[in-house]
Structure 1
Amino acid sequence: MGPSQDMVTVRRLRRGIGVVGIAMPFVLTLGNALFAGRLTLLESISGAYHTGMRDVFVGSMCAIGVFLICYRYRPLDDVLSSVGGALAVAVALFPTASGARDDTVSATDILVGRVHQVCAAALFLLLAGFCLFLFTRTDPAVVPVTPEKVLRNRVYRVCGVIIVAAVALAPASTLLPETVQEAVKPVFWCETVAVLAFGVAWLVKGEAIIRDGSGRGVDPT
């Protein structure tokens, strides 16, 4: 007997979140290169809001938000994913301040930018919590712990640690000299690493990677 429709829906939502997350930094970078006529890194992923890729950035974040809000699994997962979805939409609707040196930034822009930063950090930390605590749950009474489940848990924990480290390093990188920040774009790389880690974790949870051979469908642990 195959998986139920609910199980299939959960699996597809997990994969959808993972695919959008992994694709976003690449699509935004390449799209911005097409608009600018040259390949150049963004100041940050959120900085795409101030480029020709604004609609793609906002649409991607809203898509992740809708996926998370629609995600239903267990009560705690439901609440946290809904909060995460609201944060993702907030990240899209409250843009980061422009990184351009010659732009005039008003008090409102600064406030909106701070709301953006708080929502983005909270979203990343919440997604790290999914990786470290929710995805790694194991209930041997429900299903035997397979070697694949052990491997998946290792992947989740690594992804969670990477996200937390990236969130910590992003603000710390602003202490670097401006010339280094301009050349390396450390915030962009921190955000990209965090987004890729969370995307990989959700693809694994959606059974696109490291599947059990039993064909049970959605990982019930």
Structure 2
Amino acid sequence: MSSEPPKPPQDAVTVRRLRVGIGSVGIALPIVLAVGYALVVGRPALLGSLSGYYHSPMRDVFVGAMCAIGVFLISYRHRWPDDLLSTIAGVLAIAVALFPTATGDPTGTERLVGVVHQVCAAALFLLLAVFCLVLFTRADPTVRPDPVPGNRFYRTCGYVIVAAIVLAVASNVLPDDVRDTLRPVLWCEAVAVLAFGAAWLARSDAIFRSSHPPREETPQQVAPVRS
């Protein structure tokens, strides 16, 4: 008999790869935007928010990354209600990319587009928190349960996302010069996106491990004793 462990089901491999893609793009996005923009302008510089990079030379990176996350989320299939919520989150991610945030002195149409962007971004962050706090920590009959430390990690990521959203909204009360200096919205969004990406990467590993059933040990054959 072959000693090789059984291969995981194809569905488990597909789900894992989608989760790896979502998590990897999420973690890389704030880093690539900040570093790429600094290289383009030739000096260290941060914008007011991740969405602000739409109006910079990093527009294609921002739009491409958000659309990639959106497509991954829409393609993600595991079980209900994960499928429904991931599809909604994917549509919201693409909307965030296609409806840019308003800057400067916007016209009526630009202001409306900016409102759509803000609503979609807020709903997207809330859904990402729901994945971490509810969906990733609940019992899943299709796989072996995650260990308790794993669930604590997901909850921590979810609470970080919620705290980042609250702090980003609260930062609006700060004076304009303070916000221009500290860039609180950018930092809050970056932390939330990093937490979201880390949770999805961790979950991808958990579901992949759970798809490998423990190999049963075969009893060693005992040679008959000759009299």
The TM-score, its normalising length taken from structure 1, stands at 0.89
Distance (Å, rounded) in 2 between the aligned partners of 1:213 and 1:74:
15
The residue number in structure 1 matching 2:133 is: 132
2:223 is aligned to: none
User: Counterpart of 2:69 in 1: which secondary structure?
Assistant: helix
Q: Partner amino acid for 2:122?
A: A
Aligned: 1:112 with 2:117: no
How far is the alpha carbon of 1:179 from its aligned partner?
A: 1.4
Alignment of 1:2-17 (within 5 A): 2-17=7-22
Matched, 1:73 2:84: no
C-alpha distance in structure 2 between counterparts of 1:142 and 1:165, whole Å: 31
- Contact persistence 1:160–1:197 (CA under 8 A): yes
Query: 1:127 corresponds to which letter in structure 2?
Result: L
Distance 1:106 1:183 in 2: 27
Cα offset, 1:41, TM superposition: 1.0
Which of 162, 184, 202 lines up with 2:160 in the alignment? 162
Choose from 78, 95, 100 the match for 2:100.
95
- 1:142-180 deviations in Å (ceiling 9; x for gaps): 6654xx621110010001111111111112101101111
Structure 2: runs of 5+ lacking an equivalent: 1-5, 215-227
* Contact 1:2/1:216 (8 A) holds in 2: no
Structure 1's 49 and 143: CA in aligned 2 closer, same or farther, altered over 3 A?
closer
| Cα distance in 2 between the residues matched to 1:164 and 1:210 | 25
**What is the distance in 2 between the residues matched to 1:104 and 1:216?**
59
Q: Tell me the SS of whatever aligns to 1:155.
A: helix
Secondary structure of 1:79 counterpart: helix
Structural RMSD (CA)? 2.0
With over 3 angstroms needed to count, the CA separation of the structure-2 counterparts of 1:63 and 1:73, relative to structure 1, is same
Q: Find the structure with the greater CA-based Rg.
A: 2
**Structure 1 runs not aligned, ≥5 long:** none
> TM-score, with normalisation over the residues of structure 2?
0.87
Give the drift of 1:56.
0.4
What do the CA deviations read for 1:6-31 (whole angstroms, capped 9, x no partner)?
A: 11000000010000000000000011
Look up the SS of the partner of 2:77 in the other structure: coil
- Show the counterpart of 1:60: 65
Runs of 4+ in 1 over 3 A off after TM superposition: 141-145, 209-217
Per-residue CA deviations over 1:40-74 (Å, capped at 9, x if unaligned) read 11110010000000000000000000000000000
For the residue of structure 1 that corresponds to 2:48, the secondary structure is coil
Distance 1:17 1:58 in 2: 15
Secondary structure at 1:42 match in 2: coil
Is the CA contact 1:152–1:210 (under 8 Å) kept in the aligned structure 2?
A: no
1:132–1:190: structure 2 CA closer, same or farther, 3 Å change rule?
same
Contact 2:12 2:208 in 1 (8 A): no
Q: CA deviation at 1:75?
A: 2.0
CA deviations on 1:74-121 (whole Å, 9 max, x unpaired) are 0211111000000000000000112xxxx3311211111111011001
**Greater shift in the superposed pair: 30-39 or 81-90:** 30-39
For 1:39, give the aligned amino acid: P
Distance 1:104 1:214, change over 3 A: closer
Sequence identity (%): 61
- Which residue of the partner structure matches residue 38 of structure 1? 43
The aligned length equals 209
| Structure 1 residue 178 corresponds to structure 2 residue 179 | no
Separation in 1 of the partners of 2:55 and 2:82? 33
